[in-house]
């Protein structure tokens, strides 16, 4: 369900009900996490920041103007969470590099609508699923061990009888090929 179809939009001045909030969380959680990651947040902490943003959103649901997009609103909260992370004094930073995040924040703009919609999230997920099913078995094995088993490059290199740099490049190429595959699948949608 896109925000435009959401009855919330027409229920002006009403506060988000719990049921509506839960539905929106389930609908947008994946895109929210990807958005936070796109701002240079350490992958270890992406889900934590997403949770923080959703907790804040729930606590402030009375501020939510139902005429606006929930996605826009929560993305704004998440952006502020990352900004706050950038500003606060912390020995253990949750972002990968402060300067890179500064640039990513500055260029992401104040209108997170540009980051897509939940419908696009679904299409991307479906395209990714199809592309993952289509890759060769050897690449699939490599991804499985890298992500599911969380093996390190050195362990993987030994498993695949490759040196670690070559293994890393192989992984890069697999990801690129999946990305290309996804874009090819999504291009008709994008051009519509």
Looking only at residues 111 through 170 of this chain, which bind another protein when binding is defined by CB under 8 A?
A: 115, 122, 124-125, 128-129, 131-136, 138-140, 142-144, 147-150, 160, 168-170
Q: What's the DSSP call for residue 40?
A: T
What is the phi/psi pair of residue 15, to 5°?
-80, 145
Q: Shortest Cβ distance from residue 65 to another protein (Å)?
A: 20
Among 1, 15, 90, 189, binds another protein (CB under 8 A): 90
Nearest-Å Rg of the Cα atoms of the chain is: 19
Q: Which two tokens stand for residue 98?
A: 């402060």
Q: Shortest Cβ distance from residue 147 to another protein (Å)?
A: 4
Stretch that binds another protein, among 7-15, 19-27, 68-76 (CB under 8 A): 19-27
Between residues 67 and 172, which has the closer beta carbon with respect to another protein? 172
Between residues 67 and 178, which has the closer beta carbon with respect to another protein? 178
Among 8, 24, 50, 78, binds another protein (CB under 8 A): 50
- Is 88 a binder of another protein (CB under 8 A)? yes
- Is 22 a binder of another protein (CB under 8 A)? yes
Torsion over CA: 40, 69, 60, 20 (sign):
negative
- Is 8 a binder of another protein (CB under 8 A)? no
- Is 186 a binder of another protein (CB under 8 A)? no
- Is 1 a binder of another protein (CB under 8 A)? no
H helix and E strand count, the chain: 9, 0
| Conformational region of residue 95, where left means phi above 0, alpha means psi within -120 to 50, and beta covers everything else | beta
Q: Shortest Cβ distance from residue 94 to another protein (Å)?
A: 8
- Please report the DSSP string for 100-126 in residue order: HHHHHHHHH-S-GGGG--HHHHHHHHH
- Is 38 a binder of another protein (CB under 8 A)? yes
CA count, 13 A, side-chain hemisphere, 91: 0
Q: Which helix (H) or strand (E) segment is 13 a member of?
A: none
Q: Shortest Cβ distance from residue 36 to another protein (Å)?
A: 8
- Is 15 a binder of another protein (CB under 8 A)? no
**Whether 157 contacts 163, CB under 8 Å:** yes
Q: What SS3 state is found at 41? A: strand
């Amino acid at each position: 369900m896109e925000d435009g179809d959401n009855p919330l939009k027409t229920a002006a001045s009403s506060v988000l009900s719990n049921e509506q909030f839960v539905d929106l969380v389930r609908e947008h959680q994946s895109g929210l996490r990807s958005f936070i990651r796109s701002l240079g947040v350490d992958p270890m902490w992406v889900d934590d920041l997403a949770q923080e943003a959703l907790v804040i959103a729930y606590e402030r649901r009375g501020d939510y103007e139902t005429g606006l997009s929930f996605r826009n609103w929560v993305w704004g909260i998440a952006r502020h969470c990352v900004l706050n992370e950038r500003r606060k004094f912390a020995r253990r930073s949750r972002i990968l590099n402060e300067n890179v995040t500064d640039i990513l924040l500055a260029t992401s703009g104040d209108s997170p609508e540009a980051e897509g919609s939940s419908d696009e999230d679904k299409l991307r997920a479906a395209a990714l699923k199809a592309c993952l099913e289509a890759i060769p078995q050897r690449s699939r094995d490599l991804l499985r061990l890298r992500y599911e088993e969380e093996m390190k490059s050195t362990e993987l290199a030994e498993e695949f009888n490759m040196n670690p740099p070559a293994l890393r490049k192989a992984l890069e190429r697999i990801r690129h090929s999946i990305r290309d595959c996804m874009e090819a699948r999504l291009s008709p949608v994008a051009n519509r």
